[in-house]
Amino acid sequence: MKLNGRLITSVLTLRGWWNSSSLLANNFSVFFSEKLDRVNQLNIQISQLCREFNENIIIDPGTVDIFPASRLPQTLHHLPQAHLSFQTCNFKGITGEQRCHERKGFLYTNRSTYLSSVLQWASDDEVRKLAYIKGNSVPQANLGVLDKLIATRHELAQVMGYRSYAEFNVKPNMSSSPEVVMSFLREMSKMVRPSTDEELNKIKEFKREKCGQKDVDLEPWDEAYYTAMMKSSAYDLDSSVVASYFPLPQCESWHPDVLKMSLHHPEEGDLGGRRVSDTEYQLPVVALVCNFSSSRNSSTARLNHSELETLFHEFGHALHSLLSRTDYQHFSGTRVVLDLAETPSNLFEYYSWDYRVLKTFAKHYSTGEIIPEKLVASMQGARKMFAATDLQRQIFYAAMDQTFFGEQPIPPTSSVVEDLKREYTSWKHVEGTNWQARFNHLLNYGAGYYSYLYAKCFAATIWQKLCQEDPLSLTTGTALRTKFLQHGGAKEPDDLLNGLVGDGILRECNGGLIPDINCLSNEMKLVEKS
């Protein structure tokens, strides 16, 4: 039987193509399988390194031994995990006889909260210096862990086709690239620098006045101590008096063990949740787990205002989830692009400072007296005193985060911190300290810490344009819910923001979006000076 030559050729060609395609498909399958395996391995390694970093902070917080004990204020002797210690001193008496005696000292574990207390309240310069240096030099093991984390995240990014982990993590966000983020940070830094330099000079002059020395310099361990003293002097604030108006049960309706709430609308029923039918939603379950210490001689915690602000901040996240109504669960609530996620929580911080809000619940724990408006005004004034320095510190943190996870290789992390502190802050770097070894936001955010600054700008704009006139109005609350919070991540973030307040909240920048800084600048009186 004769076969057509063209047919034979076609069949042979098809067979060759099929064999080649099968081989190509198999190769692709192997390639993607190996790539997926490597991505999984790297993610597991990253999780392990993050856990190790946190464990090291707990295992090795460092200790500070102070002699004599009188060098530490009596008010700080109550610090948890602190106890008296003794030091044996040998010396020769008048007769030449060797003698010894014990000096009573004070030893405490240098966890971040205790370090903050010592830096704020210890009047002895040497005690603060010792606490600052020791507290910012541990755990040494985390320097190696951080190096490994940076390298592992960089490899993950390259496997995924990106130049750096910063590019990999930032790409899906409004900013879209590390270049846009750094442009935004430099703009913020330029805006805030004149005011921070002024604040630094005021602190320096205050220290010189208190010390009676005209040429004494300002050290990093001086900031918390002298700013606290300046605030107290200017506004006569006592934190215990402020806390007396914020017993926890009045700040939230807590059950003795668990708080469980639902939010009900008179026409729409229970609010929040993922759509499961045309008329039904799967309602979310939201929990805030907080660690507030009970007050002395009372089982009821009385919050200082910083803790109240934290409670409002976290409740902003909870409301974002509670009020969300989306078709798909993975778009609900806080499942939004990273540089929008902190906006509701930052916005709700404003409510914790507004007297019109505070007077609805802030009542003295024993007398029931509503918090005095004059006291709130003093709190607000103290808050603004060094606001520029606080903002500058956040810009520095964000720049450090971007640099660590940017294109590799980078110098040792300690060199990066020293260089960036000089570039982005008005304060000196202390040789030998490794502050980054305790900064666990590097774990959760990894090139995303800048999102706090985005949120700060967005929240300032929303507050001024929508909420400031009447933060408790039904119109304001409805707008926040229906135009913003209920959509979660189901709408583009720029559409949400523009739809809520109109134009003037976002700007285009090199293919990305950055917040408009005017409202924040006006609020903080950060007018750039020539």
8 Å CB contact between 493 and 336: yes
Residue 68, preceding peptide bond in cis (omega within 30° of 0): yes
Largest CA distance in the chain: 129
Q: How many CB atoms lie within 10 A of CB 150?
A: 21
CA dist., res. 391 & res. 195, Å (int) = 10
* Residues 6 or more apart whose Cβ sits within 8 Å of residue 521: 191, 527
- Collapsing DSSP to helix, strand or coil, 247 comes out as strand
One of 314, 418, 492, 523 is an active-site residue; which one?
314
Give the C-alpha distances (Å, rounded to integers) separating 453 from 76, 187, 441, 458: 34, 12, 14, 9
CA dist., res. 7 & res. 242, Å (int) = 93
31-37: Cβ within 8 A, 24+ apart? 35/159
314 tagged catalytic:
yes
CA dist., res. 242 & res. 364, Å (int) = 9
The pair of three-digit structure tokens given for residue 298, joined into one six-digit string: 């009372």
Q: Name the pairing type of β-strands 273-275 and 325-326.
A: parallel
Residues noted as catalytic: 314
